[in-house]
Structure 1
């Protein structure tokens, strides 16, 4: 009997892994807690370290190209004046350097295309994991509807609030970053003041920033981040927002900012949490992938990208080895240092974006606008080829 793989969660990472494993002939079943396949959140930015696999390995460039917007550079602005501080790369330069595009795409569009490449019979909806027993001859999964399943390998790809991780650790280790966010999607005709609509842009200022980028239909996906003065006291990570409360702290910012964040209703406030790095994220027949293993704040836009990198590495190792215990160990070794660095850098970027006026923000602006800024700060992320990396032996004993 062939080995059975169970993936918990049908997000971007789980679907990417399942597609690649199924193409290699492995028996994969996906268990998703929602009754319909949908993504929380509006859109996602994918950089070359992820899009290269959809383009080259999966052959989805044409199909995805109809749904995504290839961004034209990365722009940093002063949030209050709108002054351009730096423009890094261009669409053509980026493709030439990295061999794949930097894009914005609606999560539902991406997930729909991935689902279309999946064996539909392998996706099981309304399966909320409630228990995991790895003491027998196979791992036994129990679900809220009373169903059970067995697998020789369980992969927790169930996101930042991962139950699989909590079952492995025995506790919830989420850390509040000190920031909250509002998000929305705005039609271009509602943004007459917006400069550089085809770029990814950061509008920076004391205590907050606005990030936005285009998606396939020309709309702008925005993510407005505010640094809070007090700890998060709510029970959930997402809470209802009062009408217009997200606008007040930014009402004095540049007209294009106010225009964008005022264009559509915002009904929710998102607390931004991340997970501390783990030395090991496998136990017995269970391992973690994506946000379940290394959830980060979105200031580098790498959450989905790192889950795709994870999926490629784990898929290749499982296919190449009959010793899955050894494959899981090598998977952690290859991914531990990389993901830890991304999490740390993402938290640090939030601090950098929110500097008050003064010498430190002037130094930041000078660094961003100086020659070679992209290479110094971002090349290590975008140039990474997950399928060509060797284990980071320097962190095995961490």
Structure 2
């Protein structure tokens, strides 16, 4: 059926927004992307793109481009914060050889998507801060410079503080989870292989994996604490604070943290999944619809899924109201389930009491030793889900 002649504005030039713009343009829509920043860029560093996200990028014609900028991930390895040896190895290369897992620098992924958008003739308008969205038959965007923009559809891919989400749901009340996270990159002087390592300690864990052909190491370190830290990725912190928080982590984590010269800190907040993902001429996706804690590395992957399904629903049904309703119906329950799994994953890394931690780690070791393939495939319901397949 297609979207030829449909005028769509996408707010936000992140992973989900750019992917949505590409998917909508491929179906014939006239798409414009508005971005409040002065350049198309991203803070943060590493992303893990799992097969469910890779499927969307392949469907957008970007599979080869992704392979050029990303590293295939061979394994996910869980380790204790003080003891040598592995607690559990999820050997992706051996037990999931037909599935593609990638490690990619966020900036490189955004650049790849932005270049594809420009090549498709999609205008990317910078310094366009949206103050308010007014739903309606012809929805309106009210910009900070007092200008207005109108379209047949506004897609809010504008993140945690989405104006489009507020227009559909009103303001919500996120709460601090009692966890903060630091993010940094360092040179890969230790020659880490292409796998994600998770070091688990009492009330803390540290994730690291290589990026950019193995030249960098991405570090994300999460700590439970009572002190509140402001939400957002833009808050710089003293690397000494990070090292102090993980001072008892031995071996590789200590060596990596010693190299950190710049670090960003953010508080982890839990937002409810939006009740309404669509309304009169407005739809939301990604973090605007379902902010996700980073304990299953699914934030970017869910945004890619959303982008594809939104375009698929709009192109498959002439009535926009019905199409948007179908989009929410196809996406919301899955997002709720993935987010619940991510929330439940955090405590597994943070056993505080020694007996519980040792028992928990022993259970992981035994499970991995007795049924290594089953350990890998426990999340097939996430990774094996292909929104681009016919019949979804």
Q: Provide the TM-score with structure 2 as the length reference.
A: 0.91
Structure 1 counterpart of 2:225: 228
Structure 2: distance between partners of 1:28 and 1:255: 50
Equivalent pairs counted in the alignment come to 380
Structure 1: distance between partners of 2:301 and 2:73: 16
Structure 2: distance between partners of 1:32 and 1:261: 34
Structure 1 counterpart of 2:350: 354
Structure 1 counterpart of 2:160: 160
Contact 1:214–1:220 (8 Å) recurs in 2: yes
Counterparts in 2 of 1:66 and 1:340: CA distance versus 1, 3 Å: same
Does residue 217 of structure 1 match 2:219? no
Structure 1: distance between partners of 2:116 and 2:94: 29
Structure 2: distance between partners of 1:258 and 1:11: 33
Cα RMSD after superposing both structures: 2.1
Contact 2:16–2:285 (8 Å) recurs in 1: yes
Structure 2: distance between partners of 1:258 and 1:296: 28
**CA displacement 1:90-138 (0-9 Å, x = unmatched):** 3254232x3xx11111111111111121135521111000122234x41
Counterparts in 2 of 1:342 and 1:389: CA distance versus 1, 3 Å: farther
Counterparts in 2 of 1:93 and 1:154: CA distance versus 1, 3 Å: same
Structure 2: distance between partners of 1:267 and 1:72: 27
Return 5+ residue gaps in structure 1 as ranges: 392-398
Structure 2: distance between partners of 1:305 and 1:22: 20
- Partner of 1:300, secondary structure, is coil
Structure 2: distance between partners of 1:82 and 1:283: 53
1:95-114 aligned at under 5 Å gives the runs: 95-96=97-98, 98=99, 101-114=100-113
**CA displacement 1:171-210 (0-9 Å, x = unmatched):** 1432322111111112111x36x5xx32111111101100
Contact 2:196–2:208 (8 Å) recurs in 1: yes
Counterparts in 2 of 1:290 and 1:139: CA distance versus 1, 3 Å: same
Contact 2:48–2:103 (8 Å) recurs in 1: yes
Q: Provide the TM-score with structure 1 as the length reference.
A: 0.90
How far off is 1:163 after superposition? 2.4
How far off is 1:381 after superposition? 1.3
Contact 1:42–1:184 (8 Å) recurs in 2: yes
Structure 2 counterpart of 1:53: 56
- Partner of 2:198, secondary structure, is strand
Contact 1:160–1:274 (8 Å) recurs in 2: no
Structure 2 counterpart of 1:173: 173
Name whichever of 306-315 and 61-70 sits farther off.
61-70
Contact 1:66–1:216 (8 Å) recurs in 2: no
Return 5+ residue gaps in structure 2 as ranges: none
Structure 1 counterpart of 2:124: 123
Structure 1 counterpart of 2:16: 13
Contact 1:71–1:199 (8 Å) recurs in 2: yes
Structure 1 counterpart of 2:37: 34
